[in-house]
Structure formats: structure tokens, C-alpha cells
Amino acid sequence: MLDTLFQVLEDNITPMTVRQIHYQFMNAPPLRHASKPDSWYRNKLCDYKNLVDLVARARIAGLISMQDIKRFNLVPNMEAKKSSSQYQKFSDRYGTDDVFEAEALRPAQLQMLLKEAIDSVMDLDLFNHEREQEKTDAADIEAYRETILKYIRDYRNEESN
């Protein structure tokens, strides 16, 4: 279900509400449990609640760094619950009780962060060179394929005569 969630988000550039994601899931229902073949996502309250929970857990997974929170002057939307079993881990990791949502960033800011993250780990010149090489390789493979298919056709014609 998480893979389908990421696919829905990748296919839609603008920010989406959980309700919009829900209706995208209804168009091509994923399995709720990968190991249970009959566990398709349905238009039921329990499935919707599971989706809400899944989206919340994905948001909490640290998708916004503290550096970005300071950089964009984000305002916390709540404090971490001290009663939560995850509180101490959260507090130690981020050094604060403040909780921030990925939705607090504007789409342009999210796109900029994504571009920066990609640029920081990727050699674009090398990537573009590889893409060109793939095109050349694909053309070579297609030429070999055509030669082999012609040989097979000729062989079949000889056999049938």
C-alpha cells in the first residue's frame, strides 16, 4: 500500500489531501497487506483510517530536516506528546518538542529541496552521458534484433520450401 501511496504522490505534482489520495486508490486499489491476496483497498471507513495512519507515519518519518525548518522559518503546528512511546527518541533526534508538517512547506520549496537533494548525490554530466549511451545501445540492440529476425524468417522460408 505504501508503494501505491508513493506512486499516487509521484503522479500528482500538486499537494494532495488524504481524501484525494483515497480516491486515487479507488481507481486502482492496492493490497492492504502484501501477504494477503484478498486484502484489496476498499471504499470503507476502516481502509480510509488505515490510509490516514499510513500518511501520518510517512510524514513523521523525518521528511523535513531541522535545517530546512530553520531555513524556511516554519512554525510548529503542535508539540510532541510526552506520553508517546516515541517521544524520547523524537526529542533526542531533533532536540525539540516541536512538531512540523511537510505540508507547511510550499510546493515550490518542496521542489527546491528535492532538486537540491538529487543534485547533491548525482553527477548530472555522467547521468546525461549514460542516457546518451543507453540510446546508442538501444539502437545497436534493435539492429541486432532485426538481423536475427531476418535470419529466422529466411531460415523458416527455406525450411518450408
pLDDT at 62: 58
Instruction: Assign 66 a pLDDT band (cuts: 50, 70, 90).
Output: low
Average pLDDT, the chain: 80
Rounded to 5, what percent of the chain is helix, strand, coil? 65, 5, 30
Mean pLDDT of 118-130: 87
Find the distance separating the first CA and the last CA of the chain, reported in whole Å.
Answer: 56
Question: Among all chains, which residue has been given the C-alpha cell 518450408?
Answer: 160
Residue where the block lists cell 539492429? 143
Query: Where in the chain are the domains?
Result: 1-61
Please say if the pLDDT value at position 129 is more than 90.
yes
- Strands annotated E in the chain: 78-79, 98-99
- Over residues 87-112, the pLDDT tens digits come to 888 888 878 888 776 666 777 887 88
Question: Which grid coordinates belong to 35?
Answer: 501477504
46-58 pLDDT, tens per residue? 888 888 777 766 6
- How far apart CA 52 and CA 119 sit, in angstroms, is 32
**What digits encode the pLDDT tens for the residues 19-34?**
777 888 888 888 888 7
Which band of pLDDT confidence, cut at 50, 70 and 90, is reported for residue 59?
A: low
pLDDT score recorded for residue 97 = 82
Sign of CA dihedral 16, 19, 20, 26: positive
